[in-house]
Amino acid sequence: MINTNRRPIYMDYNATTPVWPEVLEAMLPFLRRKFGNPSSDHAYGRAARTAVEQARRQVADLLHCAEDEIIFTSGGTEANNLAIRGAMELSTERRHIVTSAVEHPATVQPCAWLESQGIAVTRVPVNRTGHVEEQSVSAALRSDTALVTIMLAQNETGAVMPVARSAALAHACGAIIHTDAAQAAGKIPVHVDKLQVDLLSLAGHKLYAPKGIGALYVRRGTRLAPVLRGAGQERGLRPGTENVPYIVGLGAACALAKKNLMAESRRQRELRDELWALLRVGVPGLKLAGGQGPRLPNTLSVCFPEVYGSAVLAAAPQIAASTGSACHAGDQRAPDVLLAMGVPASVALGAVRLSLGRGTTGPEIVAVAAALQRAYEGLTKDGLAAKYRSGK
């Protein structure tokens, strides 16, 4: 099937999402005539402040929390830094963090920086399906553990982690728990009380809001120190004049996600499963990475046999997807997440991540499967598979 739009079929929604039309419409007035500073005590400021508080309620509604527990940030990375570094700055006696081996860099790097400052960090492994196991978290906890930070859904494999069970363990030893929910929010239900989390991060561009906006849920009574210093906005935890248009966009995106969550989740799961069924028939030996256990409804991570995943995508320019691996100066490296799952490097080098979204259609699924099959057949026909196997 030919892509008549002559644009690549977008299959990288886990990387970012487009700003949805309803979200843009909600934002536009605050980019034009409603430009006031929320801290100003006049009509322009009051209009902006009202819009910010409405957005705060919309984000809180998606997470099933109180609106005063939402802090707006510039994105998921800042939210993670505020949660992790802010919690540890106030922890003078407990100086230990537990995290997982498959976190996003926005968690990995703050933990590494704190480690360089003398904080102990334990990184628990994942099993072969890419999930953190309860016993691993339990074994990692210590009497001086201050914080457990485990993502809710893994961005490369889609594995949904047992955060609620980890939270119960953390609380039992006197620690607090943070989860990076950037990939999960808007795809699966996220209920902070059911998860039992104290801190939770969101990234707007993962759920059809703009890039450059996010939020941090801070459970009442959880103490944080600000990472940035300035005025007293966002309860003093995130100083700086609020980005009103983008905050409004995040609120609109959260309201839309809550409204359509279950139906859209079911639709994407059905399309994902159809894509896997087509690919496994068309590509003998194709392996599913992290296919067992709970996972996001939109994410399909596969490993093509005997070829690089990047080569498959290069041979299928009509598809916009990612490999999940890093390429530096022409060198191929297997995705760290798959290696952490025990996938052999020779298999992991064939990884391709296909992530669906609201814009994905049934005909596109058929076209993507056919294009990837043709790309793979072309590579193996040209003898590149043999070249890959020999390492030459």
Measured over the CA atoms of residue 304, residue 306, residue 310 and residue 313, the dihedral's sign is negative
Does 254 participate in catalysis according to the annotation? no
247 SS3 class: helix
Contact 26, 248 (CB under 8 A): yes
145 residue type, one letter? T
Closest to 73 (Cα-Cα) out of 163, 176, 180: 180
* Catalytic option among 111, 173, 254, 327: 327
Q: Is 158 left (phi over 0), alpha (psi -120 to 50) or beta?
A: left
Structure tokens at 190: 């996220």
Pairing of strands 120-124, 96-100: parallel
Pairing of strands 214-218, 70-73: antiparallel
Report the alpha-carbon distance of residue 141 to residue 147 in Å, rounded: 9
Output the DSSP codes for 138-183: HHH--TTEEEEE--SB-TTT-BBP-HHHHHHHHHHTT-EEEEE-TT
Which active-site residues does the annotation give? 327
